[in-house]
Amino acid sequence: MELDPDDIFKDEEDDSDSEFYQERESSKEFVVYLVDASPKMFNTTCPGEDQKNETHFHIAVSCIAQSLKTQIINRSSDEVAICFFNTREKRNLQDLNGVFVYNVAEREYLDRPTARLIKDFDCIEESFMKDIGSQCGIVSGSRENSLYNALWAAQALLRKGSSRTADKRILLFTNEDDPFGSMKGAAKADMKKTTLQRAKDAQDLGISIELLPLSQLDEGFNVSLFYAELMGLEDDDVAQFMPSSGQKLEDMKDQLRKKIFAKRIVKRITLFIANGLSIELNTYALMRPTTPGAIMWLDSVTNRPLKTERSFICADTGALMHEPTKLFQSYKNENIMFSMEELSEVKRVPIGHLRLLGFKPLSCLKDYHNLRPSTFVFPSDKEVVGSTCIFIALHRSMLRLQRFAVAFCGTSSHPRLVALIAQDEIVSAGGQVEPPGMHMIYLPYSDDVRHIEEFHSESNVSVPRATDGQIKKAADLINRIDLKDFSVCQFANPALQRHYATLQALALEEDEIPDCKDETLPDEEGMARPRVVKAIEEFKLSVYGDKYDEESSSMGNGKANEASRKRKAAAENAANESANYDWADLADNGQLKDLTVPELKLYLTANNLPVSGKKEALVSRILTHMGK
Amino acid sequence: MGVGGFVAARGSDSESSNQQEGLILLLDVGPSMHNVLPEVEKLCSMLIQKKLIYRKFDEVGIVIFGTEDTDNELTMEVGGYEHVVVLRNIKVVDGDTVESLQKLPRGTVSGDYLDAIVVGMDMMIKKYQSTNKGKKHICLITDARNPIKGPYEGTKEDQVITIAVQMAAHGVRMKTIVVRGRLSEDADRRIVDENDRLLHLFSEKTSAKTVYVENSTSLLGALKTRNISPVTIFRGDLEISPKLKIKVWVYKKTSEEKFPSLKKYSDKAPPTDKYATHEVKVDYEYKSVEDPGKVVPPHQRIKGYRYGPQVVPISSVEWDAFKFKPEKGVKLLCFTDASNILRHYYIKDVNIFIAEPSNVRATIAVSALGRAMKELNKVAIVRCVWRQGQGNVVLGVLTPNLSENDKIPDSFFFNVLPFAEDVREFQFPSFSSYPASLQPSEQQQKAADNLVMMLDLAPPGKEEALLPDFTPNPILERFYHYLELKSKQPDAAVPSLDRTLKRITEPDPQLFSESKSVIESFCQSFEVKKNPKLKKSTRRFLREKPSGSDDEGGYGDASNALAIKSDEIKLLVKVDKIGDSTPIQDFEAMMSRRDSPDWVAKAIKDMENKICNIVENCRGGDNFHKALECLVALRKGCILEQEPKQFNEFLHHLFRLSQEKNLGSFWEFLASKDITLISKSEAIDSEVTDDEARKFLVKREPKLE
């Protein structure tokens, strides 16, 4: 058995990435954006965000640009192609007229989006007329059918990959609800028929076709003229279609940049109930802090990736050595050695997996009984038939009786006592909010809990408590600042959003970094409402009397204050001392290095700079600060 | 609070020598304590072991009482104080301390804990006089079920108060662990009550705390064995609004205790080198991928992040210029109903907000808000930036932590909540959408209700079992035990978890036997079986199972053997033909063999022969049933393995056979049991439609009338 020493003691923080029992490869999405480029798309406008009129073409293109920027962060392995139809020029696999597949260098037609694609596509409108051109492809008297060609070209682009591992979609942007309106009689019927057949063939191959209709305010987009049939909508769906597609367009633009994870099982575990009865559970990570993604080290000269090599050096002899197989702990003046096998044996609990120990009322689970993100468990009959039924029965009983289960979770990485809380399904209009199942909460042990409350208690002094009157005022205050429909995770992480924005700006060589709103700041307007202010003032009066300002200005008391006073005094002292040196002169003559470290620190402290690092670092910091 | 919690030193997590602490263990070894002494020994040696690793300069003394002998300075100086033995004077911890704690003598008389406290205090005062205030601890472990001697003058209460005042004056903190419940059931109620009252008097008059434990597992968890001086994460304002700021300090409330960080060992140093450190330095070098010989110096390295298929380099200067830089501070966003924050949204270890110590107004403000929140069932959502320069904000929820002890202020627990990016919105099927076969019946639900109710770890009026605050970490316990074993015998084997620690990792046999009937009825109400579809690749799942049953003393593993287990054995012996006794199991076992593709064909062939055999040698209805069962298994197997043709041909063959052999009654029997051909919808390779499949039997049924 090969064991990595770092692995044994590693925290299982990132359990989702190191598991080998995964569900199949996360499925990818292949999307072809099919944009109508007929003159009508350029001629019709509708009021945009800032009251200016925007062409439908602009709306479609900017929507795609936005969605690409989100996608490259959220699901960068998905592949896209952008394809215009009703164009003057043609470029596509089959050399069909009126269809132009947009692309940039170093990229196939259907491929992962790149910074270059996003960047160039952002300015497509400037060069569109020159390079691609708009031209209606369906005119009476001609046998050309640009819509048919477009669907065919898109289908050819999506030939890549199996429909089992990839989700294939065509997103069609148009403002023409009757593409064959200019045609008459048999020719029209024939074109309509072949186009519908083309669409059906694509759908039969597992490609879904979605329509994003653009319409003017006065004349709506009549989906029943043609597209209802193309998408196979029933009568009821038709009425529903328009409002929902408007929403879809909005959604595409306003997506949060958020890395999307494919649903997968972290681990399959067995829950031992009693008497040898056991059931099968799958665990999922529903909540894990998202990080900006792995750092790759690059050579700053070539921008080529670097590889890290680890070497082990014996501290006594300086000899290069193989990775050590033993670890030691100094104990009683001796070095006690452990092999990796022994250490993993220490962590091994005889009965692995999850072992039910009993149940407790929910009130026994305190708010401080928590260490790490919870894990979601859901039953599976895949290997043990009957698991689901038992799980549902226990789930219902636990919900009804308001109890949670205590179990020992014997995974090799962190064996722990866990609480299993039953969660009932919660469904809102938007879909499932909380899935039904149980959440596994990792419980602390006695040595993990700190008794801070008692830490400051004096030997025989009672602490003050709020009176009923004060509690009443606090209650009024709480009711004033109460948010009824607060939901966890309604806030985006401002640091992460900032990171993504910076990354995008640098990758696309944008001049400025778009501002990200920090949603986590308190609602100052709301807090300034007279009723809220009044409630706050009343509470303040009841607790602080008229002493509030005094207390807050006195900056607390005790040791904290002492420490800050000391720091302040040290800074003042440093400033005085530092004045005795002619720093500019010393710097110019290269004499800084002749000073002692404490002398150098005088300057740094006086100028509020960090004092850490070696002497050279201090000198260079001083020089930098002086602008030399 | 554990002894560790008493540490008064503030301001740093360091455990350096100038913060050394003095501790005296007062251990009751009288006869009534004998059954828990093994746990006392373990608990105390763990405490010393951790000191040897983390706080090598702490000083420890050991006093035992309830002994036959008497050996202490007070008895020589003033007389009395009998049956109290100073096992070890206060001195710096060493290996011998562990040794002496691991074999405590068993006493013969009922101990007097008050005598022991006085002896301990005397040692403390003689050693430290009035120095080391707040760093002097007494830890008393007793069952407090034997009466203490009355004083020469005054009452016992007076005596306790005198001692407590002395303790407070010298800055000595005391922790008492009283062993009760299951472990001392036949105690004299009157004496026990008196002792409880006296011990409580200590906590009223000085910094003393008494905890009661009812079983050996919680005894092991009753004392914090690792000393960590708490440090604040944040000191400043809890800003309700710009107009109302409450001074608070924030600490960690829970934090996972890890293994000690072991060092990598190098054996390169010559054995004669006595000063060898045997340490290993790990060096990281960054090399260019194209030219592995070239090492890139640190200043020439730049961080890159993925953006689609490419990597975008971002220098630290750019990074500093653009990164998110929130202002330090803790601000209230809103209050909301506690029910809006589900428990599983807590994603980290927990912090605690306390009002700035000795700030009366802040203490009252926290108390008022906490109590009002509790009353209204509300929680507060706050946005925290603990330090200036922190690169991110933390969103969290404050929940009230109200104190019933009038020396302890009210405070808030703080739990970190996830951001929108941290939540993965996976969809799961609704339980109500499952078919009836997966839903528990009324009777099954009742059995589950009973199990959830009766398998109670927190029965009213008794100590809550496995309370996190009193549960030791079994793995760390085992590590320290192993460390001690290895210090004596380098090649010692890893010790197994003892009985006390197994109460954490395994069900409590007593609880499970008390609830035996409920458990049995639950197990009988439900049926689980291995999925016959299971392929070899997933088999590991069940194979691991028996590993549990080899564990000595494992609870109940041998009983109620499941269907899974008998199957399991079959799998392991590798069935290679279909026998007479269990043809179906043999068939399934053969079908699932994956060591050669031929097994499926052989299994089907063998099964067909078996069925023909049974039918041909038919001597009555019983065999019909047997043939039918085999046929059903064969059909299922053929669907699973996508071999519809095999089965369909066989069914045709069977029809001809039953006609030839004049076995119309068998055919009629099959028809009545709805055995059909395998249709296209069941196995894609089949050439038979659903309709044809259904009609097959009807059409062919030989009319007997």
> CB-hemisphere CA count at 13 Å for B191?
14
Q: Which of A314, A352, A488 comes nearest B341 by C-beta? A: A488
> Exposed, middle or buried: residue B338 (CB in 10 Å: 0-12, 13-18, 19+)?
middle
Read off the amino acid at residue A465. R
Q: Which of B383, B226, B463, B53 is nearest to A447 (CA)?
A: B226
**B471 phi, psi to nearest 5 deg:** -115, 120
Whole-angstrom distance, CA of residue A138 vs CA of residue A85: 11
| CB < 8 Å from A in window 458-487 of B | 458, 464-476, 478-479, 482-483, 486-487
- Rounded to a whole number of angstroms, the distance from the CA of A601 to the nearest CA of chain B is 21
- Is the sign of the CA dihedral B47, B50, B52, B55 positive or negative? negative
Flag whether pLDDT at A100 surpasses 60: yes
- Chain A contact present for B509, CB below 8 A: no
- Chain B contact present for A569, CB below 8 A: no
- Rounded to a whole number of angstroms, the distance from the CA of B507 to the nearest CA of chain A is 5
Flag whether pLDDT at B545 surpasses 50: no
Contact call for B428 and A410, based on CB within 8 A:
no
Read off the amino acid at residue A501. A
Q: Which residue has the tokens 């008998």?
A: B566
Flag whether pLDDT at B550 surpasses 60: no
Query: Mean pLDDT across the stretch A243-265?
Result: 66
Helix (H) or strand (E) holding A210: strand A207-213
Question: What whole-number percentage of chain A has pLDDT above 70?
Answer: 84
Q: Which of B313, B333, B411 comes nearest A303 by C-beta? A: B313
Q: Which of A307, A355, A504 comes nearest B506 by C-beta? A: A355
**pLDDT tens readout for residues B321-332:** 788 888 899 999
Long-range contact list for A11-15, CB < 8 A, 24+ apart?
A11/A413, A11/A414, A12/A411, A12/A413, A12/A414, A13/A372, A14/A288, A15/A266, A15/A267, A15/A285, A15/A413
Residue of B nearest to A500 (CA): B307
> Residue B361 is encoded by which pair of tokens?
């107004």
- Chain B contact present for A553, CB below 8 A: no
- Rounded to a whole number of angstroms, the distance from the CA of A102 to the nearest CA of chain B is 18
Residue of B nearest to A68 (CA): B308
Of the two residues B7 and B473, the one the predictor is more confident about is B473
Q: Facing residues of B396 across strands?
A: B382, B416
The pLDDT confidence band at residue A529, using thresholds 50, 70 and 90, is: confident
| CB < 8 Å from A in window 167-186 of B | 168
Residues of A in contact with B255 (CB under 8 A): 448, 450
Distance of CA A341 to the CA centre of its chain: 38
Residues of A in contact with B439 (CB under 8 A): 389, 392
Top CATH class of A350-448 equals mainly beta
| CB < 8 Å from A in window 198-217 of B | 204-207, 209
pLDDT the model gives residue A337: 85
Helix (H) or strand (E) holding A269: strand A267-274
> Residue A448 is encoded by which pair of tokens?
């993990």
Contact call for B290 and A304, based on CB within 8 A:
yes
pLDDT the model gives residue A378: 92
Query: Mean pLDDT across the stretch B29-34?
Result: 88
Query: Mean pLDDT across the stretch A426-450?
Result: 88
Ranges of each domain in chain B: 21-222, 232-256+327-420, 583-696
Whole-angstrom distance, CA of residue B103 vs CA of residue B105: 6
Query: Mean pLDDT across the stretch A179-202?
Result: 84
Tell me the DSSP string of B84-106: EEEEEEEEE--HHHHHHHHTPPP
Q: Which of B286, B345, B529 comes nearest A287 by C-beta? A: B345
Angle, in degrees to the nearest 10, between helices A235-253 and A56-74:
70
Contact call for B257 and A445, based on CB within 8 A:
yes
Whole-angstrom distance, CA of residue B530 vs CA of residue B320: 57
Residues of A in contact with B343 (CB under 8 A): 365, 374, 421, 439, 441
Contact call for B243 and A115, based on CB within 8 A:
no
Long-range contact list for A142-145, CB < 8 A, 24+ apart?
A144/A97, A144/A98, A145/A191, A145/A194, A145/A195
Residues of A in contact with B282 (CB under 8 A): 310-313
Whole-angstrom distance, CA of residue B496 vs CA of residue B551: 10
> Residue B258 is encoded by which pair of tokens?
């890890």
pLDDT the model gives residue A403: 94
Read off the amino acid at residue A125. E
pLDDT the model gives residue A418: 93
Question: What whole-number percentage of chain A has pLDDT above 90?
Answer: 12
Rounded to a whole number of angstroms, the CA Rg of chain B reads 36
pLDDT the model gives residue B616: 73
- Chain B contact present for A387, CB below 8 A: yes
Flag whether pLDDT at B704 surpasses 50: no
**pLDDT tens readout for residues B47-102:** 898 888 888 888 999 999 999 988 888 888 888 888 999 999 988 888 888 888 88
- Rounded to a whole number of angstroms, the distance from the CA of A83 to the nearest CA of chain B is 20
Whole-angstrom distance, CA of residue A115 vs CA of residue B249: 46
Flag whether pLDDT at A342 surpasses 70: yes
| CB < 8 Å from A in window 579-608 of B | none
Flag whether pLDDT at A118 surpasses 70: yes
pLDDT the model gives residue B418: 92
Residues of B in contact with A484 (CB under 8 A): 336-337
| CB < 8 Å from A in window 57-86 of B | none
Q: Which of A37-46, A259-268, B393-402 has the lowest mean pLDDT?
A: A259-268
Mean pLDDT over each residue of chain A, to the nearest integer: 80
Within chain A, which residue ranges are assigned CATH 2.40.290.10? 350-448
- Chain B contact present for A314, CB below 8 A: yes
Q: Which of A577-581, B285-289, B538-542, B677-681 has the lowest mean pLDDT?
A: B538-542
The pLDDT confidence band at residue B551, using thresholds 50, 70 and 90, is: very low
Query: Mean pLDDT across the stretch A255-269?
Result: 70
**pLDDT tens readout for residues A479-495:** 988 888 888 878 888 88
A318: alpha, beta or left? (left if phi > 0; alpha if psi -120 to 50): left
Residues of B in contact with A486 (CB under 8 A): 334, 336-337, 340, 381
Flag whether pLDDT at A11 surpasses 60: no
Within chain A, which residue ranges are assigned CATH 1.10.1600.10? 468-551
Whole-angstrom distance, CA of residue B107 vs CA of residue B115: 15
Q: What is the 3-state secondary structure (H, E, C) of B300-364?
A: HEEEEEEECCEEEEECHHHHHHHCCCCCCEEEEEEEEEHHHCCHHHCCCCCEEEEECCCCHHHHH
- Chain B contact present for A445, CB below 8 A: yes
pLDDT the model gives residue A244: 64
Whole-angstrom distance, CA of residue A584 vs CA of residue A587: 5
The pLDDT confidence band at residue B559, using thresholds 50, 70 and 90, is: very low
**pLDDT tens readout for residues B128-163:** 877 777 688 899 999 888 888 887 778 888 888 888
Flag whether pLDDT at B573 surpasses 60: no
Q: Which of A189-198, A308-317, A563-572, B90-99 has the lowest mean pLDDT?
A: A563-572
Please state which CATH number belongs to domain A291-347. Answer: 4.10.970.10
Q: What is the 3-state secondary structure (H, E, C) of A346-367?
A: HHCCCCCCEEEEEEEEHHHCCC
- List the single best residue of B224, B305, B449 to mutate versus A (max A Cβ within 10 A): B305
Whole-angstrom distance, CA of residue B104 vs CA of residue B120: 18
Within chain A, which residue ranges are assigned CATH 4.10.970.10? 291-347
Within chain A, which residue ranges are assigned CATH 3.40.50.410? 26-258
Whole-angstrom distance, CA of residue B545 vs CA of residue A277: 11
Chain A to chain B Cβ contacts (< 8 Å): 748
Evaluate whether B578 touches B629 at the Cβ level (below 8 Å). Answer: no
Contact call for A502 and B322, based on CB within 8 A:
yes
Whole-angstrom distance, CA of residue A219 vs CA of residue A217: 6
pLDDT the model gives residue A436: 93
Query: Mean pLDDT across the stretch B188-213?
Result: 85
Cα–Cα distances (Å) from B555 to A355, A461, B126, B511, B517, in that order, read 11, 50, 52, 11, 16
pLDDT the model gives residue B13: 39
pLDDT the model gives residue B252: 93
Rounded to a whole number of angstroms, the CA Rg of chain A reads 33
Tell me the DSSP string of B34-67: GGGHHHHHHHHHHHHHHHHHH-TT-EEEEEEES-
- Chain A contact present for B566, CB below 8 A: no
Contact call for A482 and B307, based on CB within 8 A:
no
The pLDDT confidence band at residue B351, using thresholds 50, 70 and 90, is: very high
pLDDT the model gives residue B385: 93
**pLDDT tens readout for residues B597-638:** 677 788 888 888 888 887 777 655 667 777 888 888 888 888
Residues of B in contact with A451 (CB under 8 A): 1-2, 5, 224
- Chain A contact present for B446, CB below 8 A: no
Q: Which of B175, B169, B170, B179 is nearest to B138 (CA)?
A: B175
**pLDDT tens readout for residues A20-36:** 333 334 467 888 999 99
- List the single best residue of B226, B346, B518 to mutate versus A (max A Cβ within 10 A): B346
pLDDT the model gives residue A558: 44
Flag whether pLDDT at B394 surpasses 70: yes
**B161 phi, psi to nearest 5 deg:** -65, -40
Query: Mean pLDDT across the stretch A183-198?
Result: 84
Topology classification of domain A468-551: Ku70; Chain: A; domain 4 (1.10.1600)
- Rounded to a whole number of angstroms, the distance from the CA of A2 to the nearest CA of chain B is 16
- Chain B contact present for A563, CB below 8 A: yes
Flag whether pLDDT at A76 surpasses 70: yes
Whole-angstrom distance, CA of residue A357 vs CA of residue B457: 8
Residue of A nearest to B477 (CA): A346
Read off the amino acid at residue A317. T
What beta strand segments (E) does A277-333 contain? Answer: 277-284, 296-299, 306-314, 320-321, 326-331
- Provide, for chain B, the percentages of residues in helix, strand and coil under a 3-state DSSP scheme, each rounded to the nearest 5: 45, 20, 40
Q: Which of A448, A460, A470 comes nearest B206 by C-beta? A: A460
**pLDDT tens readout for residues A215-252:** 765 567 787 788 888 877 776 666 666 666 666 666 66
Flag whether pLDDT at A49 surpasses 60: no
pLDDT the model gives residue B705: 36
pLDDT the model gives residue B183: 53
Flag whether pLDDT at B570 surpasses 60: no
- Rounded to a whole number of angstroms, the distance from the CA of A27 to the nearest CA of chain B is 14
Evaluate whether B212 touches B184 at the Cβ level (below 8 Å). Answer: no
Query: Mean pLDDT across the stretch B35-42?
Result: 89
Residue of A nearest to B206 (CA): A459
Q: Which of B637, B645, B623 is nearest to B584 (CA)?
A: B637
pLDDT the model gives residue A352: 56
When mean pLDDT is compared over A51-55, B344-348, B359-363, the highest value belongs to B344-348
Q: Which of A133, A134, A130, A114 is nearest to A122 (CA)?
A: A114
Entry pTM: 0.73
Flag whether pLDDT at A356 surpasses 60: yes
In CATH terms, B583-696 corresponds, of 1.25.40.240, 3.40.30.10, 3.40.50.920, 3.90.1750.10, to 1.25.40.240
Question: What whole-number percentage of chain B has pLDDT above 90?
Answer: 17
Query: Mean pLDDT across the stretch A174-198?
Result: 84
- Provide, for chain A, the percentages of residues in helix, strand and coil under a 3-state DSSP scheme, each rounded to the nearest 5: 40, 20, 40
> Residue A231 is encoded by which pair of tokens?
């998408």
- Chain A contact present for B426, CB below 8 A: yes
Contact call for B483 and A331, based on CB within 8 A:
yes
Residues of B in contact with A371 (CB under 8 A): 254, 256, 348-349
Torsion of CA B196, B198, B199, B205, to 10 degrees: 140
**Predicted ipTM of the assembly:** 0.74
Top CATH class of B232-256+327-420 equals mainly beta
Burial B527-541 (b: 16+ CB within 10 A, else e): ebebbbebeeeebeb
Flag whether pLDDT at A578 surpasses 50: yes
Contact call for A425 and B431, based on CB within 8 A:
yes
Q: Which of B352, B447, B475 comes nearest A415 by C-beta? A: B475
Q: Is B477 helix (H, G, I), strand (E, B) or coil?
A: helix
Query: Mean pLDDT across the stretch A12-21?
Result: 35
Angle, in degrees to the nearest 10, between helices A56-74 and A124-131:
120
pLDDT the model gives residue B189: 80
What superfamily would CATH give domain B21-222? von Willebrand factor, type A domain (3.40.50.410)
Whole-angstrom distance, CA of residue B183 vs CA of residue A460: 32
Whole-angstrom distance, CA of residue B621 vs CA of residue B663: 12
Whole-angstrom distance, CA of residue B268 vs CA of residue B280: 10
**DSSP 8-class letter at B379:** E
**DSSP 8-class letter at A370:** -
**pLDDT tens readout for residues B427-439:** 888 888 888 888 8
Residue of B nearest to A322 (CA): B266
Q: Is A548 helix (H, G, I), strand (E, B) or coil?
A: helix
Topology classification of domain A26-258: Rossmann fold (3.40.50)
